[in-house]
Amino acid sequence: MHLLAASWLALIALASSPAGASSPGFAPPDFAPLARLVQEAKDATLPSGTAIAVVKDGEIVHEAYFGYADIAARVPVSRDTGFYVASATKPVFALHALLQAQAGRLDMRTTLRDMFPAARFDGLDAGAVTAEDLLTHVSGIDNAPLVWATAFSGVHDAASREALVAASYPDADAAHGTFRYTNVGYNILSVWMDRQGGRPWQAQLEDDVLRPLGMARTSASIARAEAAGWPLARPYSFAVERPDAPLYLAKSDDTMHAAGGLVSTAPDLAAFLAAQLAPAAQPRLAAAIARSHAPRARLSSQYLDFARSGYAWGWYTGEYKGRTMLHHFGGFAGFHAHLSFVPEAGVGLVVLNNEDVLSARLTNLIADYVYGAMLGEPGVEERAAERFAALRAQGPELRRAVAAQREKIRARAWRLSRPREDYAGVYAHPLLGEMTVALDPGGGLALRWGRLAAVATAGEAVDQVRAEFAPGSGEFLGFAVRDGAVGAVSLGPMTFVRVRESAP
């Protein structure tokens, strides 16, 4: 067992009793079997943390906490543990935007041209793209540099964000009006809201949503959470060489963005779901909440057990167990978050994890059990036992696959046309800052860009390298070599020009 015996007994007690009042006549099901299955999965794989909160008719009826917020220090997850929730931020930000519209400070028909009249927007019909399009992922716009700056490198300020927005370009995979999920629309709208509101979107969101809902342990600022002494979960991944070691890529204020920029607890997010299920309890928010549930875009996709037929305002919609469900998940290096609710049944679920690979599958099974039990499905325990057993068996298989893939990457032959020292230097982008390349003692090339760092391995093409800026996810970077001189390095559409021959 990874948890202390006392903690396990407390967990069983918590899992077997409601955490709050429930609707008259409702008796929460027995969640003790689920607690045992989740703990067995932790014991067989990795003791990273998982927090669960179940909501019924606007009240929390069950909470359970597993594993560690910090594995090495053996800090257990509790109801006060803050998790980075990644893209599960979107329904919170979208509700904030709808409240701004309700107050007359934002018209969802406002166009990109209206928002940024000085921008040229080459190749885009900026007069056709609206604020609603940005929030519902049908804008037809792409902007990898803006996404990388705000979510990963942290190298940006108000002026560079405005300039990055102006450098947006057509999405090659989805025309205007076609759904394609990205962070871009939320990032763009937040830049406008910063300027329009005269203060950061983070402060606006706190006034509009967090404070009214009593989400006192939720923030868009890591610095604030740390200063307040909130316990924050550290990030882990089952798909790296040392799964029990925290990932280097930790969130900071400059990488907390409108499409993925909140830390929160299970009880706080349960309060957010409670408001979705019982909006009348929040009269000022009720109309905006109701509007946020209305699908605005059509799609046809599936993520694990979850069908997706539409996208509302920050919520996917689709059928789950024969009923309409609204949900949004969040994934980032070291974290996986789940928010969902079934309005017809008055049931909602929060699951937060500080691990990014197995946790999506674990959460899928937790949801199957919770909704099955809450909706009175027969055979819930038996089905769950089988599916959890399969998940436990996947652990060793995944570790073997990870080891084989890493060996394949290490065995790849270098195809650099110059000696490695010739690639060392400082490379600059006018809006994205500097990327440094240095010789690593192990023979690789050490790359650093703002909050990002990686030791590159060989790429697949000439003068190309592979770097895991986000652990477990490799990116290819290409160097431009002309007349024997290395002049630039590119990551996707972003090109950094060499400005110095050696890093300081």
Taking only the tens place, the pLDDT of each residue in 197-224 is: 999 999 999 999 999 999 999 999 999 9
- 420-500 folds as Lipocalin (2.40.128)
Query: Any idea of the CA torsion for 201, 203, 209, 210, to the nearest 10 degrees?
Result: 130
Say if residue 346's pLDDT is above 70. yes
Give the tokens for residue 143. 């902007």
How crowded is the C-beta side of 113, counted as CA atoms within 13 Å?
Answer: 8
* Bridge partners for 428 per DSSP: 434, 497
For domain 5-86+213-398, say whether CATH 3.40.710.10 is its number.
Answer: yes
**What is the predicted pLDDT for the residue at 27?**
86
In this predicted model, what pLDDT tens digit does every residue of 22-80 receive, in sequence order? 555 678 899 999 999 999 999 999 999 999 999 999 999 999 999 999 999 999 999 99
Q: Are 214 and 275 in contact (CB under 8 A)?
A: no
Percent of residues, the chain, with pLDDT higher than 90:
91
Say if residue 16's pLDDT is above 70. no
Nearest to 361 by CA among 306, 300, 318: 306
**What is the predicted pLDDT for the residue at 20?**
42
Say if residue 413's pLDDT is above 70. yes
In this predicted model, what pLDDT tens digit does every residue of 141-151 receive, in sequence order? 999 999 999 99
Give the CA angle between residues 274, 276, 278 to the nearest 5°: 65
Give the tokens for residue 348. 């909602």
pLDDT band at residue 429 using 50, 70 and 90 as cut-offs? very high
CA distance 424 to 501: 6
Give the tokens for residue 293. 């549930």
Distances 210 to 16, 220, 300 between C-alpha atoms, Å: 30, 10, 32
- Over residues 213-237, the mean pLDDT reads 98
Sign of CA dihedral 331, 298, 180, 149: negative
Distances 318 to 1, 342, 350, 369 between C-alpha atoms, Å: 38, 10, 18, 18
Q: Are 55 and 341 in contact (CB under 8 A)?
A: yes
For every residue of 265-311, DSSP letters joined together read -HHHHHHHHHHHH-GGGSHHHHHHHHHHTS--EEEEEEETTEEEEEE
pLDDT band at residue 18 using 50, 70 and 90 as cut-offs? very low
CA distance 333 to 182: 17
- Over residues 418-424, the mean pLDDT reads 95
pLDDT band at residue 502 using 50, 70 and 90 as cut-offs? confident
The per-residue pLDDT of the chain, averaged, comes to: 94
CA distance 321 to 306: 9
Give the tokens for residue 195. 């300027």
**What is the predicted pLDDT for the residue at 23?**
56
For every residue of 451-490, DSSP letters joined together read TEEEEEEE-SSTTEEEEEEETTEEEEEEEEEETTEEEEEE
* Bridge partners for 479 per DSSP: 489
**What is the predicted pLDDT for the residue at 442?**
84
Distances 258 to 89, 174, 202 between C-alpha atoms, Å: 7, 22, 8
In this predicted model, what pLDDT tens digit does every residue of 71-129 receive, in sequence order? 999 999 999 999 999 999 999 999 999 999 999 999 999 999 999 999 999 999 999 99
User: What own/partner pairs with CB < 8 Å and gap ≥ 24 does 17-20 have?
Assistant: 18/60, 18/61, 18/62, 19/53, 19/60, 19/61, 19/62, 19/63, 20/59, 20/60, 20/61
Q: Where in the chain is the domain with CATH 2.40.128?
A: 420-500
**What is the predicted pLDDT for the residue at 25?**
66
**What is the predicted pLDDT for the residue at 328?**
98
In this predicted model, what pLDDT tens digit does every residue of 388-397 receive, in sequence order? 999 999 999 9
- Over residues 302-330, the mean pLDDT reads 98
pLDDT band at residue 472 using 50, 70 and 90 as cut-offs? confident
CATH number belonging to domain 95-197: 1.20.58
CA distance 439 to 448: 12
